[in-house]
Amino acid sequence: MAAPRILILRAPGANCDAETQFAFERAGGIPERIHVNRLREQPNLLQRFQVLVVPGGFTYGDDVAAGKILANQLAYFLSDALRQFRDAEKLILGVCNGFQVLLKAGLLIPPDEDGPLATLTNNTSGHFDDRWIYLQAAPGNCPFLRGCERLHLPVAHGEGNFICREPWFLKGLEQANQIVLRYVDANGKPGPYPVNPNGSQGDVAGVCDMTGRVLGLMPHPERHVLPTQHPRWTRNGLAEEGDGLQIFRNAVEYFE
């Protein structure tokens, strides 16, 4: 079977699209960066691809709220095309700003009649946080995380605080195995800041939709694809690959 094609969605302010393209090329996929305006003009372009990625950055300057403007574009102009894409058992990934976009567009957790059930808001530290963190994976039925256990990846965000409208909904996400990534320390234990860099309820770092095929996460796997991207590789020794590469490889191998 031919290598899967990956659509990396570009928008004003997105700044991780080239790194995401490199990561998928390294994993054996065929990525292509396409601007959101082109996709709005030709929604059928999605049919050529097997994976859709909304990369990190600061789309539209996060002027309204992080990812909100791009989320509105997806919700109001591309919702039918995106639902068809997802229902065709294809994959959707949102990283950092892309996580914010997918969540606010209702692609990860659909809103109810009263509005969003969960969102990503300002870090409880009150400032932008740029650091390396540890993650504990609970892959469930999420193909992106197959075989993943502990990951060491960087975060870089000011609005990564995952909160639910009601406490019972967080428990519901846990019971449905939709919380697939949590912040932990080097020993796999939860903890306060800086272990949890943004104050997320339940130490949530990533969630998937009910199918498992739509994943959003705040840390940046595309920034730890090569082992030399780790800040301590000269002290700890050179690993075979960066921790983030497995996420992209899993997406490619899902279609093989």
Query: Per the structure block, which two tokens stand in for 170?
Result: 């967080």
Q: What is the per-residue pLDDT for 110?
A: 94
Instruction: State yes or no: cis peptide before 194, omega within 30 of 0.
Output: yes
How do residues 72-84 score in pLDDT, each as one tens digit?
999 999 999 999 9
pLDDT band at 37 (very low <50, low <70, confident <90, very high): very high
Q: Range of 224's domain?
A: 5-253
Q: What is the per-residue pLDDT for 256?
A: 83
- Do 103 and 118 contact (CB within 8 A), yes or no? yes
d(CA 18, CA 56) in angstroms, rounded, equals: 10
Active site residue 222: yes
Selecting among 16, 96, 164, 208, the annotated active-site residue is 96
Lowest model confidence (mean pLDDT) among 35-39, 111-115, 201-205, 244-248: 111-115
Selecting among 208, 222, 224, 230, the annotated active-site residue is 222
Q: What is the per-residue pLDDT for 197?
A: 98
**Angle between helices 79-87 and 68-77 in degrees, nearest 10:** 80
Q: H/E/C letters for each residue in the chain?
A: CCCCEEEEEECCCECCHHHHHHHHHHHCCEEEEEEHHHHHHCHHHHHHCCEEEECCECHHHHCCCCCHHHHHHHHHHCHHHHHHHHHCCCEEEEECHHHHHHHHCCCCCCCECCECCEEEECCCCCCCEEEEEEEEECCCCCHHHCCCCEEEEEEEECCCEEEECCHHHHHHHHHCCCEEEEEECCCCCCCCCCCCCCCCHHHEEEEECCCCCEEEECCCHHHCCCHHHCCCHHHHCCCCCCCCHHHHHHHHHCCC
Mean pLDDT computed over 205-233: 97
How do residues 130-158 score in pLDDT, each as one tens digit?
999 999 999 999 999 999 999 999 999 99
Judged on CB neighbours under 10 Å (0-12, 13-18, 19+), 232 is exposed
pLDDT above 70 for 1: no
Q: What is the per-residue pLDDT for 213?
A: 97
Mean pLDDT computed over 177-188: 98
d(CA 46, CA 107) in angstroms, rounded, equals: 16
Query: Per the structure block, which two tokens stand in for 177?
Result: 């195995």
Active site residue 96: yes
- Do 212 and 235 contact (CB within 8 A), yes or no? no
Largest CA distance in the chain: 53
Query: Per the structure block, which two tokens stand in for 116?
Result: 């969003």
Average pLDDT, the chain: 97
Mean pLDDT computed over 188-201: 98
Whose structure tokens read 């130490």? 203
What is the total count of domains within the chain?
Answer: 1
Q: What is the per-residue pLDDT for 18?
A: 98
Q: Is the pTM of this model over 0.95?
A: yes
How do residues 97-133 score in pLDDT, each as one tens digit?
999 999 999 999 999 999 999 999 999 999 999 999 9
State percent of the chain over pLDDT 70: 100
Active site residue 220: yes
Which CATH number do you get for residue 149? 3.40.50.880
How do residues 49-62 score in pLDDT, each as one tens digit?
999 999 999 999 99
Selecting among 19, 157, 159, 220, the annotated active-site residue is 220
Region at 41 (left for phi over 0; alpha for psi -120 to 50; beta for the rest): alpha
